[in-house]
Structure 1
C-alpha cells in the first residue's frame, strides 16, 4: 500500500481514463482541481499559515523529494517576485485554480511522472481505440490508467469514510470538495448516495472549520462545467434510439462515453458477442473482468464499469456489435 499525499490521491482519481496526450476540457477541469489539491495538501501540513513555513515554499523545500517536483510546478508561479505571501487559504485556492494552460500541462507532467515512477500510473491505448471507426482507421490515442489495486483502495476508503456515520477525516473533507468541483462525484457515488453525500457536506459546513472556508468556493470554469454536463447528458441519451447519433453530432467532445465494438458474426448470440468484445479489449491492453453475463453483460474495464448493450449501425451493410456505456453506481 503506497503512502500518498492528498494531491497524489486525487490525481489517481481525476487522471484515471483521461487522455494523456491532449488537454481536453474534462482534463483541464481535473488539472485545476489537482492544483487546488496541492494547496490543500500544503495547508494540512501547515505550510501556508506561518512565515517560517512560507520561506520553505520560496526555497522549493516544501515536503520531501517526491513532493518537491509537482508542488514546485504549482507554487513557483504563485510565489515568484512576492516579498510576502498571502496566508488566506481562499486566495491560494483561487490562484492555483487559475494557472495558465502551459503551467497546467507542466504540472500534469510533473505529478504524472512522479506517479509513474512508483508504478501507480501508466499510459495505455485509450478505450476509444477499440471503437469501430478508430480501430479501423489506425488512429492511436493514449489514456492514463491508475493502478487498479490502489485506485480500489482509495475509492473504497473514501466511500466508507463519507457514507458511514461519524466524523470524516480531513483528507475526505478535502476530497469531497475536489470531486464536486472536478465533476467526478458521479464516478464514485450513486444517485441515491449523492443525497447522503450532500447531507454530509452540509453538516461539515456547519461543524468543520476547513469545510466552512472551502465548500462555498467554486473554481470550475463555465465552459468546462458545460462540457462535463453535456457528456453526462450524452451517456443517458445514447442508450436510446433517438439519442444513438448524439456521439457523432459533436466530434469536438470526447466520444469515449459510448464505444461501439463490432462483432465478427451478424446477429451473433450473447456468448459469441462477449468473446469478440473481450478479444478486442484485451488486444488493446485493457484489463477486463466480467461482472455479469447474459444479454447485456457488465464489464469492469480497467477501473471503470461498463454495460455492453447489443447495437447495430445501419448503412449500406448493417454492422452489428456492442456499445459500451459507462455504468455508474445506482
Structure 2
C-alpha cells in the first residue's frame, strides 16, 4: 500500500469512475469533499495553531518544501477570504467546500496530477462508451480509473478498522466523515454493515476527540447531494427485478447504470456471451475479472462489480446483448 496523504487516499475513492472531462454533479460533490479533506489533512499534520476553538493556519505551512499543489490551491484561496485566517474547524471545512467551480477544477487537476505521477490514477474510455448507442454515435467520454490494487487496499483498510473491534486511526475517522458527506457510504458498505458503521461512528463520537469535533459538521449542499441521491435511488432500483424493468424503459436517465452491450451472435450460449462481453470491454481499455459464471454472470469491471443480464432491444430488427447492472453489496 502506497504512503498517501489523506486527500490523495480519499480522492482515489471519490474520483474513481467519475467523468474526467465534464463537471457533473456527482463529481462536484466529490471535489467539495476533496477540498475539505485538504483542511483535515493540514489539521492532522498540526498545521494550525489552536486558540480555544479557533484555528489559525501556521505561517510556514505554505513555505514548506513538501507542501502539495492541491494544498496550496485550497489554503491560498481561503487565505484571500480572511485577513485573520482564523476560523473554527466547522468554518474551515464549510468554506473549503464552498469554493467556486474554477477553484474546484484547479483542485481536480492538481490532485489527479499527483496521483497520475504515482501511477495510481489514469483516464480511460468511460464504460458508457461500450453502450450500443454511445458506441455507434462515436461519443467520446473519459473516466478516471484508480489503481485497482491501491483502491482495494484503501477501501478494505477502512472496512477492517470500522467493522472489526479495535482502535480506529484519525485518518479513518476522517475518511468515514468524508464518505458520509460525499454520499459514498453505500459504495463500500452493505445495508446491514451500515448499521454497524452508524453505531461505530456514534461510539467514536462519544470517545474520540476528533470524531466529537468532526462528526456533527455537515458540509454537503442539499441540492447537489439530493441530485446525486436521486441517481443513487435509481441505481438502487435496478438492483430489483422491478427496478431493472424501470431502468430498461428509461435508460437515458442513467445510462451508466444500465449499459447495453450488443452482441454479434443473436442467440449465444452463456459462455460465448460472456466471452464476447469481456472482449468488448477489454478492447475499450477496461480491466475485466470474471467473479462468477452462469446464465447471469458477475464480473468486476475495473473497480466496480456488475451483473451481466441477458437482454434484447426490439425494433425492426431485434438486437441481442447484455445489460451491465451494478451488483449491490450484500
TM-score by length of 1: 0.93
In 1, are the aligned partners of 2:57 and 2:85 still within 8 Å (CA)?
A: no
Q: Distance in 1 between matches of 2:82 and 2:202?
A: 36
Alignment of 1:172-191 (within 5 A): 172-191=172-191
User: 1:16 is paired with a residue of what secondary structure?
Assistant: coil
Stretches (4+) displaced over 6 A: none
1:111 and 2:111 correspond: yes
Q: Distance in 2 between matches of 1:209 and 1:258?
A: 43
User: 1:143 is paired with a residue of what secondary structure?
Assistant: strand
Q: What is the CA-CA distance between 1:54 and the residue it aligns to? A: 1.5
From the superposition, tell whether residues 31 and 242 of structure 1 become closer, same or farther in structure 2 (CA, over 3 Å).
closer
Q: Distance in 2 between matches of 1:34 and 1:105?
A: 11
1:11 and 2:15 correspond: no
User: 1:122 is paired with a residue of what secondary structure?
Assistant: strand
Per-residue CA distance 1:96-141 (angstroms, 9 max, x = gap): 0101011000100011111101101110111110011111111111
Structure 2 match to 1:228 = 228
Q: What is the CA-CA distance between 1:3 and the residue it aligns to? A: 1.0
Of 45, 56, 59, 1:55 maps to: 59
User: 1:49 is paired with a residue of what secondary structure?
Assistant: strand
Alignment of 1:136-151 (within 5 A): 136-151=136-151
From the superposition, tell whether residues 237 and 220 of structure 1 become closer, same or farther in structure 2 (CA, over 3 Å).
same
User: 1:244 is paired with a residue of what secondary structure?
Assistant: helix
Q: What is the CA-CA distance between 1:56 and the residue it aligns to? A: 2.0
Q: Distance in 2 between matches of 1:315 and 1:227?
A: 32
In 2, are the aligned partners of 1:237 and 1:246 still within 8 Å (CA)?
A: no
Q: What is the CA-CA distance between 1:52 and the residue it aligns to? A: 8.6
Q: What is the CA-CA distance between 1:53 and the residue it aligns to? A: 5.6
Structure 2 match to 1:244 = 248
Q: What is the CA-CA distance between 1:87 and the residue it aligns to? A: 4.4
Per-residue CA distance 1:194-227 (angstroms, 9 max, x = gap): 1100111111111111111211111111222122
In 1, are the aligned partners of 2:56 and 2:87 still within 8 Å (CA)?
A: no
Per-residue CA distance 1:219-271 (angstroms, 9 max, x = gap): 111222122212122223344324422322x3xxx521111101111132111
In 2, are the aligned partners of 1:231 and 1:257 still within 8 Å (CA)?
A: no
Alignment of 1:53-132 (within 5 A): 54-57=58-61, 60-61=62-63, 64-65=65-66, 67-80=67-80, 82-132=82-132
User: 2:187 is paired with a residue of what secondary structure?
Assistant: helix
TM-score by length of 2: 0.93
Q: Distance in 2 between matches of 1:232 and 1:101?
A: 23
Query: Which shifted more, 44-53 or 184-193?
Result: 44-53
Ranges in structure 2 where 5+ consecutive residues have no aligned partner = none
Q: What is the CA-CA distance between 1:328 and the residue it aligns to? A: 2.7
Structure 2 match to 1:318 = 318
User: 1:305 is paired with a residue of what secondary structure?
Assistant: strand
From the superposition, tell whether residues 302 and 48 of structure 1 become closer, same or farther in structure 2 (CA, over 3 Å).
same
Aligned length: 322
Structure 2 match to 1:40 = 40
- Could you say what the CA RMSD is over the residues aligned between the two structures, in angstroms? 1.6
Q: Distance in 2 between matches of 1:306 and 1:123?
A: 20
Q: Distance in 2 between matches of 1:260 and 1:43?
A: 45
Q: Distance in 2 between matches of 1:233 and 1:315?
A: 29
Query: Which shifted more, 231-240 or 86-95?
Result: 231-240
Query: Which shifted more, 44-53 or 205-214?
Result: 44-53
From the superposition, tell whether residues 82 and 240 of structure 1 become closer, same or farther in structure 2 (CA, over 3 Å).
closer
Structure 1 match to 2:192 = 192
Ranges in structure 1 where 5+ consecutive residues have no aligned partner = none
Q: Distance in 1 between matches of 2:199 and 2:250?
A: 34
